[in-house]
Structure 1
Amino acid sequence: MTQLSNRSAHFSDSVIRRMTRVASQYGAVNLSQGFPDFAPPVEITNRLAEVAHTGPHQYAITWGAQNFREALARKQKHFSGISYDPNSEITVTCGSTEAMMAVMMAIINPGDKVAIFSPFYENYGADTILTGAQPVYIPLVPPDFHFDANQLEDAFRQGAKALILCNPSNPCGKVFTREELLVIADLAKKYDAYVVTDEVYEHILYAPHKHVYMASLPGMRDRTIVCNSLSKTYSITGWRLGYVLANPEVTDRVKKVHDFLTVGAAAPLMEAAVTGLNFGDDYYRDLQAHYTHMKNLFVGGLKNLGFTVTEPQGAYYVLMDVSEFNVHDDYKFAEWMTREVGVATVPGSSFFKEDVHNFVRFHFAKQDATLNEALNRLESLREKAKSVHSF
């Protein structure tokens, strides 16, 4: 048969979504793929019920419905202080996954280099391969996941055209400080590079940590390209509503790529989601309190069971150190734990470029009952692991 593409041979399917399938196979509590098991805000779902009868049901403008883009611009101005023109600087996409891919295809040429902090969300590596780029990885060092500014500058010295920055970070929950972001910004300006931000967890933070918008820093408005989504903020991961914020020149390219990738996001879902974009500050305070409760319940529960974890500063993931179980193959360990303990996790090595096999990632965007059930099952982990000499 005719040879298939080389690009598609150099990455696997999503390990995160693979572990969801394993969880379903064994009836495990799914703490692998990061979606909640609680409902979106009732105001949004009520509006969706109305839209089901009244429309719109046909194509919206390919880069997003006008009222949706205007609502996004208002929300972004409120939280970041930055004004984005809804007509020339906003592109609505089918989730932040497409947002990132459209951005990469808009700014990257084959052979360009892209800097990525490690650990990283698995899509970033695949995105660089699909665009023909060469990734350059900069370690974030556990347990606090700091980075070495010299290593970051070396990536730019090698010619990195852009840095992908997930803040707050999936999988490690790091929230970059203003001082760290200023280091990144100074290097981006010095080497004339873009910073492509993934800010999907911008509202999921744990005191005293604060989200600083990279684009708000001096000189970074036009060289920051923001990828984001409504998925996590409004618990609508299945709606696939994302967006890109960028200067008009970049946005013009992103719009063209997006048009031929997906044509446009779902018109009725955009119409319903405008309700969420218009929420007041109380919603976001309640959201933070809700996630703080879930973090305290689950991460505190893991600590009470004697497990070693890294403390998340934002997002809704926690890395647990499994060194005590003599783990050499964390994929094998994750599948064993899903099958034998009944809790699904993600092997940490799928996020690290470095040779790291001693972490697994849990997410805790779940109801109390779900998290308590997972903790009850994890009580048996050590006893069940005794029968296995190594993984």
Structure 2
Amino acid sequence: MRPNSRFTEVQPIGLDQVAAAARDDPDVLRLENLDTDIAPPAVAARATADAVLGGQGNSWLPLTGLPVLREAVAADLCTRTGVGYGPDRQIVITSGGTAAVMPVLLAATEPGDPVLLTDPTYAGLLQRVRLAGAYPSLVPLRVEGGYWRLDREALAQVDRAAALLLMSPSMPSGVVFDQGDWEAIAEVCARTDAYLIYDAAMERIVFDGHPRINPCRVDGLAGRTIVIGSVSKEYRMIGWRIGWIAGPAGIMERVRLAAVYNTTVASGFAQLGAAAALSDPSGAGVREAVAEYQARHDMVIEQLAGLPVVRAAGGWSCLLDAQALNLTAQELSDRLLARGRVAATPMTAWGGAVATRHVRLVFSNEPVARLSSLRARVEAALG
């Protein structure tokens, strides 16, 4: 096989290997995969079924998304960001939020450019930076007061970046940025003339009263920010594979070209379901789902009391420190599955020195009752 430098540093995501090893054993506690058993909005399911049965959305056009969905995204983003994005020129519909990342990177960076991410971060962001020909520059998270926090001192040392690619809440750590964090990020963007690529997939999944701050409301960021969103997590619509990109009109010209040539068009049926979810006046069950995720998170933390686990301020997962248990992340993952019947992904592809010492525990797909067995399972793994 001919060599290809784009793949030199790209690492496997890891969770699929753990899932394959766990197979379909009903006794295994499935904490490896970012699925959820909480139902998607009924209004979205009905709208999607009606579209299929009624022959709506079975088309290649429009390539950048149905007007009804682009308008629904624009309305939702106006509420969140305070920015009036034009549905025609400033919003592009994509096949899920992760499929939006590559077109944005291609539009916002040149080969060899540094892109700033946190350590740890979602492997799907980190590895796409490498595939795009840019290279990841990692700023660590640190534990303070029992939660992950952005290391602002390390951030202040950044002197070159084409883009900052960030989530809040972030996978896999559950870190949530506060006002001071976003102001520090704005300073780096201004100093390096960088874009902020903001993955907002979990923006409303926040626990314990932590602040939910959209960066577009922070001075200096709205004109630099490219927002990536989706219905996969807040709306539990993973299988729909619908996401979007919104940003300043100039950069969106390039994003639109890259997105069209990447996937041509997202599913029309699914777009109509997504539009129904975004437009649902009842809120499509987001508040109720967040309350359930918090209950599950709190059960994980309760079960692992005294062990090196870090609370999440939001999102669907938290991290257990394998190195503090005198194990590598891969060793802990293997033991958890073999001895404790717990599937958990080692974070070897999810960052640098911080990520690689942890395993991820996803609580979105297991109810509280099953999570109450976690302590005994972990003790069996470590015994």
Match of 1:300 in 2: 302
Q: For this pair of structures, how many residues does the alignment match?
A: 378
Tell me, yes or no, if the aligned pair for 2:337 and 2:344 is still in contact at 8 Å. yes
Please say which of residues 15-24 and 64-73 is displaced more in the overlay: 15-24
Please say which of residues 25-34 and 197-206 is displaced more in the overlay: 25-34
Tell me, yes or no, if the aligned pair for 1:110 and 1:132 is still in contact at 8 Å. yes
Instruction: For 2:357 and 2:114, locate their aligned partners in 1 and report how far apart those are by CA, in whole Å.
Output: 29
Tell me, yes or no, if the aligned pair for 1:38 and 1:367 is still in contact at 8 Å. no
Please say which of residues 238-247 and 75-84 is displaced more in the overlay: 75-84
1:31-110 pair list within 5 angstroms: 31-54=31-54, 55-110=56-111
Instruction: For 2:87 and 2:250, locate their aligned partners in 1 and report how far apart those are by CA, in whole Å.
Output: 14
Match of 1:287 in 2: 289
One-letter amino acid of the counterpart of residue 263, structure 2: T
Say if 1:12 and 1:312 are closer, same or farther in 2 by CA, change over 3 A: same
Match of 2:21 in 1: 22
Tell me, yes or no, if the aligned pair for 2:340 and 2:380 is still in contact at 8 Å. no
TM-score (normalizing by structure 1): 0.90
Instruction: For 1:221 and 1:384, locate their aligned partners in 2 and report how far apart those are by CA, in whole Å.
Output: 47
Task: Give the secondary-structure state (helix, strand or coil) at the position aligned to 1:52.
Answer: helix
Deviation at 1:349, TM superposition (A): 3.6
Q: Deviations over 1:273-305 (max 9, x none)?
A: 2110012365443333232222223333333xx
Verify: 1:312 aligned to 2:309, yes or no.
no
Say if 1:160 and 1:247 are closer, same or farther in 2 by CA, change over 3 A: same
Match of 1:274 in 2: 275
One-letter amino acid of the counterpart of residue 381, structure 1: V
Query: Unmatched 5+ residue regions in structure 2?
Result: none
Tell me, yes or no, if the aligned pair for 1:204 and 1:314 is still in contact at 8 Å. yes
Deviation at 1:205, TM superposition (A): 0.6
Q: Deviations over 1:228-251 (max 9, x none)?
A: 111001111121111111111111
Say if 1:342 and 1:374 are closer, same or farther in 2 by CA, change over 3 A: farther
Match of 1:149 in 2: 152
TM-score (normalizing by structure 2): 0.92
One-letter amino acid of the counterpart of residue 153, structure 1: A
One-letter amino acid of the counterpart of residue 62, structure 2: I
Tell me, yes or no, if the aligned pair for 2:320 and 2:358 is still in contact at 8 Å. yes
Q: Report percent identity of matched pairs.
A: 24
Instruction: For 2:381 and 2:314, locate their aligned partners in 1 and report how far apart those are by CA, in whole Å.
Output: 32
Instruction: For 2:278 and 2:355, locate their aligned partners in 1 and report how far apart those are by CA, in whole Å.
Output: 39
Runs of 4+ in 1 over 6 A off after TM superposition: none
Task: Give the secondary-structure state (helix, strand or coil) at the position aligned to 1:181.
Answer: helix
Q: Deviations over 1:240-269 (max 9, x none)?
A: 111111111111101100111100110000
Deviation at 1:351, TM superposition (A): 2.3
Say if 1:70 and 1:336 are closer, same or farther in 2 by CA, change over 3 A: same
Tell me, yes or no, if the aligned pair for 2:43 and 2:280 is still in contact at 8 Å. no
Tell me, yes or no, if the aligned pair for 2:156 and 2:184 is still in contact at 8 Å. no
Task: Give the secondary-structure state (helix, strand or coil) at the position aligned to 1:195.
Answer: strand
Deviation at 1:88, TM superposition (A): 0.8
Instruction: For 1:356 and 1:293, locate their aligned partners in 2 and report how far apart those are by CA, in whole Å.
Output: 25
Match of 1:173 in 2: 174
One-letter amino acid of the counterpart of residue 121, structure 1: Y
Say if 1:254 and 1:224 are closer, same or farther in 2 by CA, change over 3 A: same
Instruction: For 2:216 and 2:362, locate their aligned partners in 1 and report how far apart those are by CA, in whole Å.
Output: 28
Task: Give the secondary-structure state (helix, strand or coil) at the position aligned to 1:207.
Answer: coil
Instruction: For 1:356 and 1:191, locate their aligned partners in 2 and report how far apart those are by CA, in whole Å.
Output: 26
Q: RMSD across aligned C-alpha pairs, in angstroms?
A: 2.0
Instruction: For 1:18 and 1:29, locate their aligned partners in 2 and report how far apart those are by CA, in whole Å.
Output: 15
Say if 1:355 and 1:211 are closer, same or farther in 2 by CA, change over 3 A: closer
Match of 1:389 in 2: none
Task: Give the secondary-structure state (helix, strand or coil) at the position aligned to 2:209.
Answer: coil
**Equivalent in 351, 369, 372 of residue 369 of structure 2:** 372
Please say which of residues 375-384 and 189-198 is displaced more in the overlay: 375-384
Q: Deviations over 1:311-361 (max 9, x none)?
A: 11111111123456420x211320231233111111134323116654221
Match of 2:137 in 1: 136
